Amino acid sequence: MSLFVNIRRELHLIPELGYQEFKTQAYLLKYIQDLSQERLEIKTWKTGIFVKVRGLKPTKMIGYRTDIDGLPILEETGLPFTSTHVNQMHACGHDFHMSIALGVLTYFVQHPINDNLLFIFQPAEEGPGGAEAMLKTDIMKEWKPDMIFALHIAPEYPVGTIAIKEGLLFANTSELYIDLTGLGGHAAYPHLSNDMVVAACALVSQLQSIVARNIDPLDSAVITIGKITGGMVQNTIAERSRLEGTIRTLSVDSMKKVKTRIEALVKGIEIGYQCQAEIDYGCKYHQVFNEKQLTREFMNFLKTQPDIHLHECKEAMTGEDFGYMLAEIPGFMFWLGVDSQYGLHHAKLTPREDAIDMAISTITKYLTYKGND
């Protein structure tokens, strides 16, 4: 077992939610501080970490970002290194992301290149979002990269495959929470109450009309209500109900249009069901848009690597707050094949660990090429 596979397993044991990654940060800092410090500068922000590797003859700064948080999921993999934190799991592969970043960092501590490198260990990608906040820090203003890139594991691709495309890769996303409040009462006297279960059901049906009738068929959008709660017991009229879901669109304009229509439909529910409604869009993520020239250059580099299969993929409706960084800094994100039967955010996600050393090797070769040109 390689060092970085073992690191992945140790990190997999201790997943933590956004801005609560205290053990994770401590683990990362100990590893980084045990490296040669001759060319390193380390700064922390909340539970995140910035690590600058000074180059030999720097003309630019190249950034590499990894996310570090886990998800509120009870792990069901049965692995000997199953999460030790109840109802928390690295079900999105951030343990892979961190171990790969540490592998790349270690290489360049030992084999410096001409240009400066900045490694960003970002908290709270899964929510409430750490990328946008890190961008606004004084540290980032001082060490702002000239370009930046990142990866995300992809269970649907085999190990050895890297999937990427120019332009839009991940969608604009927004959480959606709608609270409805009416008048509760006895199940035998519905005429004396305003039933919020009925109102919620009507609203769910109406929300699905937005994509079908308000979005250009050549564009794409998704509204998903993943959770509904309401009522207290079977023989009462529910006074309150709550809808929780997500919005995903392939354009900023469509996101605005969807939200405008949601607000209009919710006003109609208030009038029709004599209730009060509140909308909260929660965490909102900007689209991941890969800069054309840098992405094409990376793809051309991958074509020279005999052990890599380059796949030009389509855009996906997944969300990633790395999009905020790409909105301000030219760069790209790519999918790393890890060949898991179970997908992202699944309690049985089991990525193949041989993808870790392959990714470290590929990224170090790319940065050596890019950082010495």
- Give catalytic residues, as residue numbers: 67, 126
* Whether 149 contacts 367, CB under 8 Å: no
Region of 46 (left: φ > 0; alpha: ψ -120 to 50; beta: rest) is left
What number of other Cβ atoms are within 10 A of residue 29's Cβ?
Answer: 15
Altogether, the residues listed in the chain come to a count of 373
What residues contact residue 348 under an 8 Å CB cut-off, 6+ apart? 76, 77, 341, 342
Sign of CA dihedral 64, 69, 75, 81: positive
What residues contact residue 20 under an 8 Å CB cut-off, 6+ apart? 47, 69
Backbone angles phi, psi at 122, to 5 degrees: -100, 130
* Whether 21 contacts 47, CB under 8 Å: yes
Region of 345 (left: φ > 0; alpha: ψ -120 to 50; beta: rest) is left
Rounded to whole angstroms, the Cα distance separating 107 from 127 reads 31
> CA triplet 166, 260, 264: central angle to 5 degrees?
150
Strand extents, DSSP E, the chain: 40-45, 48-53, 61-67, 116-122, 147-154, 161-164, 167-170, 172-181, 185-186, 221-230, 236-237, 240-249, 276-280, 284-285, 288-290, 309-312, 331-337
